[in-house]
Amino acid sequence: MPSGSFVAGIDVGTTKICTIIGCPQTDGRLEVIGVGLNPSAGLKRGIIVDREYAIAAIRSSVEDAQQQAKVEVRDAYVGVTGAHISSVNVTGRTNVSPGPAVSEQDVQRAVQSARDGVPLPQDREIIHEVVREFTVDGEEGVTRPVGMSARRLDVELHAVTGTVSIVENVERCVIDAGVAVARRALEPIATGMAVVTEAERDLGVILIDVGGGTSDVAVFLDGSIAHTSAIPVGGNHTTRDIARLLRVSFDEAEKLKCRYGRALPDGIPEDESVQVQLANGDQSEHVPLKLVAEIIEPRLEETFALVRGNIKRAGTYEQASAGVVLSGGGSKLPETAALASRVLDDLPVRVGSPRGIIGMADAVASPVYATGVGLALLAAREGAGASSEPEGPQTLLQRLTRWWEGLLPRA
């Protein structure tokens, strides 16, 4: 039975729902004690399209993780992504209040000044923000200004905005699945917590999380986040290409891609083939594996080319000295890193799996779990742990009360 406190992260993805429960350690690592990975439902490109299916999928994932961890998750950090996401770096400034040093109130005023500079149409809101650095009386690179002598305090803020209704729909589904949202967090920032090293952040690195419906992008420079975005192309697009060109069902195409797919056709013998069931259900035929790779290659090329253009427009591409880290289920195909490097001007590319964890580390040693682990790591870093009480027998009244509370509108 775990003791102390625990945190939870829920990755609500297009193809899977991943719940991670962990116990923060004094050395900064996370002991993973529960994992729930279930097929997603009711989502398309990170957007809720069927609430009931989405709620059921989230609930199933959470219950699986709870059963392993022997704890009840009351709240969690929830990931947000989608093509509606955009980011901007803004600055704020305040005069330091009379006194011996910068106070917490001075910091809050500077950050609010930066928030006020974020362009926000009526249908958008700030969903995640990260302080990049402070400047104290013209001296840049300050990380903790509280207690320093100063007259003027500036802050550079990385603000991520999204469409209000899309974000709220994800939150409502999590709440109706029985879990309160402790914080919503941008998925590429959370993923970076799990797979990007501090040295890579300092040198400058590009993170590409290839998901089912979207590919999340984050650029870290000088130790902090500098750009975030989401490209509306992911692994499901590759699967649909295979299904249409080979005339097989989506499920058959997904199995074919996962079992035999490669990002590059080079080196695959012409005579290697696999038998597939055609969409009509009555016939099957042998498909050359080289042909499968030839279908996959152009779609992945398009994905990485779109990422390249997105980062170039943001003005951060040339500063990524440490190269590229790939994550997500779409990065698991053999030769994906080599293809990404070819498209991204021969930058060094590696596939990242979660790090900084103990406990069930082997169970989450895959890029598929990176965002879920990152959300739990972010919760641990921000001290969001809940009391670790074992899940025990509950009365019917207790169960009905929690179910009813989940249906009530939030204040």
- 348 closest CA partner among 311, 322, 319: 322
What pLDDT is stored for residue 100 in this prediction?
78
Q: Locate CATH 3.90.640.10 in the chain.
A: 235-299
How high is the pLDDT of residue 174? 96
CATH 3.30.1490.110 in the chain is located at: 86-162
Homologous superfamily assigned to 235-299: ATPase, substrate binding domain, subdomain 4 (3.90.640.10)
Cα 154 from chain centre: 29
Predicted pLDDT of residue 393: 41
- Which amino acid type is present at position 273? S
pLDDT along the chain (411 residues), means of 10: 75 92 93 94 84 94 96 94 89 90 94 94 90 94 93 94 92 95 91 94 96 92 91 92 95 94 94 92 91 96 96 92 94 95 96 93 93 95 60 42 42 38
pTM of the shown model: 0.85
| Domain covering 86-162 in this structure, CATH number | 3.30.1490.110
Q: What is the pLDDT of residue 61?
A: 96
